[in-house]
Structure 1
């Protein structure tokens, strides 16, 4: 069920019997010369919508701008500061709780949002408003991602390229894949970003001239479909597990 497509009486019927909501979140930021700036929210919305269709759980409108200041040097990147993002997500999550939702899955496709969504979940749990958890699609299927690609890369690499090839193929600049790989950082490890134990970079451009981390030349729409199906299965399983839990079992433990 998609909240924005329903009337208020229809939604009232949902809230009478269900207490789970799905919230897709992504970003609008550079993803190299080959992928659209909407890559993250395209992926998040695709997964959230599919999971909602399979389970019948409520899916809210998406959040398409996130914590992305570390990509600001590249044209078109949009961002909000972390406190604004956290407060916004917390506010509409409390709106959902007002209507009867007490468990939320943030379907996230942007790494910059992770810590902030975790903090929002902690706040909501602290006062027993709701149990809200962040779910990152590629972290749900790490072995498959590793099996499919030689150089995954955390940003603009093959896993994101393959997903967009599957979900929105017309938006992938296939003629730029070679340039994206050659102008980016093919491998990305702790040894390359640390000096004597300290992280030495703040922005993505500090590591990659074109914004790409990884080698997307082995990405295909078929691999994207495989990733999408596997991640959707994990998300559906998470939603069904969450729905089965007693809310009191999800609440914070009392002081010892």
Structure 2
């Protein structure tokens, strides 16, 4: 059930019977010469819509701009500062709590949002407003992702390429996949990102000429479909598990 498509009286029965909502979040940022800037929020929205269509849980509108200053050198990248993002997400999540929601799954598809969503979840749990957790699709199926791709890469790589090839193939520049690979960073390892144990980079442009990592030529829509189905199953199970928990069991433990 998508909240923005309902009338307010139609939502009354939901909040009287259910208390879980799904919030898709991503980014609007460069994803190399082959993928659209919308990549992350398209993926997050697809997972959130599919999972809530299967379960009839509530799905909010998508948050399209996240914490992306590390991609700022590339045209079109948009971002908000981390404290602004945290406060914004916390504020609209408190809105949901006001209407009777007491557990949230942040369906996130942008790595730059992760630590900030975790911080928001902690704030809301610490003051016992509600229980909110962050879910990242590829982290729910790590073995499958590793099995499908030889050189994956955390940004704009074959897993994200395959996902958009499956979800919105018309947005993928398949004729640029080799260029994405050859002018990007094929392997993201400690050898090329750290010195003597210290992470020496701040921005994507510090490591890769075109902003992406991995071997994009290894991507196919079929692989994208396999990942989408597998990760959606994980998200559905997470939502169902969370819905079954007693709220008191989700709140902080008492001091010893």
TM-score interval for Structure 1 and Structure 2 normalised by the shorter chain: over 0.9
Cα distance, 1:197 vs. partner?
A: 1.0
Q: Name the stretch that deviates more: 98-107 or 186-195.
A: 186-195
State the distance in 2 between where 1:125 and 1:221 align.
39
* Aligned twin of 2:254: 254
**1:105-154 per-position Cα deviation (integer Å, ceiling 9, x unaligned):** 00000000000000000000001101000000000000000000110100
Counterpart of 2:145 in structure 1 is: 145
Corresponding residue for 1:179? 179
Hey, what's the Cα distance between the residues in 1 that align with 2:210 and 2:204?
9
Question: Counterparts of 1:253 and 1:190 in 2: how far apart (Å)?
Answer: 37
Query: How far apart are the structure 1 equivalents of 2:216 and 2:247?
Result: 42
CA RMSD of the aligned region, Å?
0.4
SS in 2 for 1:41: helix
In structure 1, stretches of 5+ residues that fail to align are: none
Gaps of 5+ in 2: none
Counterpart residue number, 1:215: 215
Secondary structure of the structure 2 residue equivalent to 1:21: strand
Q: TM-score, normalised by structure 1?
A: 0.99
Match of 2:194 in 1: 194
Match of 1:95 in 2: 95
Q: Helix, strand or coil for the counterpart of 1:32?
A: coil
- What is the match of residue 17 of structure 1? 17
Deviation at 1:224, TM superposition (A): 0.3
> In structure 2, how many angstroms separate the alpha carbons of the residues matched to 1:2 and 1:163?
22
Residue aligned with 1:24, SS = strand
Q: Name segments (4+ residues, structure 1) moved above 6 Å.
A: none
Matched, 1:6 2:10: no
Correspondence for 2:61: 61
